[in-house]
Structure 1
Amino acid sequence: MKPKHAVDCKLYPLCRCHVGCRADDVGERTPGERLEGATLLALVAAVFLCAGALLAASYARAHDALPTAAQPHGWSYPFACCSGYDCREVADKAVGEQSEGYVIVRTGEVIPYSDTRIRNSPDGEFHWCSVAGANDGRTICLFVPPRGF
């Protein structure tokens, strides 16, 4: 339905039907133009919200061990061991055993079996937490799989 006069033009945002249309006045926006600005603002807000959600999610994941067959949903490192980037799964050969305790092969650090830094590994894999996540750092926690008999 086409507007009959200038008053009807306000009801039809895309109307540019005739010379007397008030929607064509200089400095006045049509409802459609206002909608475009609001849509752009909503898009920008949505982008910022998504970026914030991704940052928050990545921070939360920093304390989580990756899923394994034994723990398909993963598990969380305790805050006493990990401040976001200190812990990671390591290969079995990265941790040795001696009569004195576990040995971190890369650093040569020996952690006695009675040390409170040794924790049971929920997924049956070795996980090493070192200061600042450095490969040559001091051990904060060592998660060990159950020992075989």
Structure 2
Amino acid sequence: MTTYRLQVNGKVHAVDQDADTPLLYVLRNDLELNGAKFGCGLGQCGSCTVLLDGKPAMSCMVPVSVVGQRPVRTVEGLGNATTPGVLQQAFIDEQAAQCGYCIAGMLMQATALLEKTPAPTDAQIRAHMSPNLCRCGTHMRILRAVRRAANTLAAKGTP
């Protein structure tokens, strides 16, 4: 076991783990950040998506040893039930969640898009969100939620 210092949602955490332990397990088991979900364990569904240095990463595929000093952001870093972030509120308003299992990953994927491309086209939204799967079939609501959030941010003048 090795001690790793991870910056997660703006706070530094020390965790003792084996080098090949997936970041997802560290987030859920050590830090009790349960937003990211274990879906497939193969990097094919996106339910475990977090932002690693501002880029979407499937945390089931990222060994804790490669995180280093790069900041990690999880859905818990976007807002909470009483004060949801703009994107979270858009997902609520569009009723984008059915079972909700994929939503944390979807939110993180969409966050990366809107931070990089504040006014994405519908084609850009579709392409960027394509790695994340929703088995309930709420893809159209998810796309509307991302569009709503982009419009809200643009109206506020926030990138």
TM-score (norm 2): 0.23
Larger helix proportion of the pair: 2
RCO comparison, higher one (Cα < 8 Å, 6+): 2
Larger strand proportion of the pair: 1
Whose radius of gyration is greater, 1 or 2?
Answer: 1
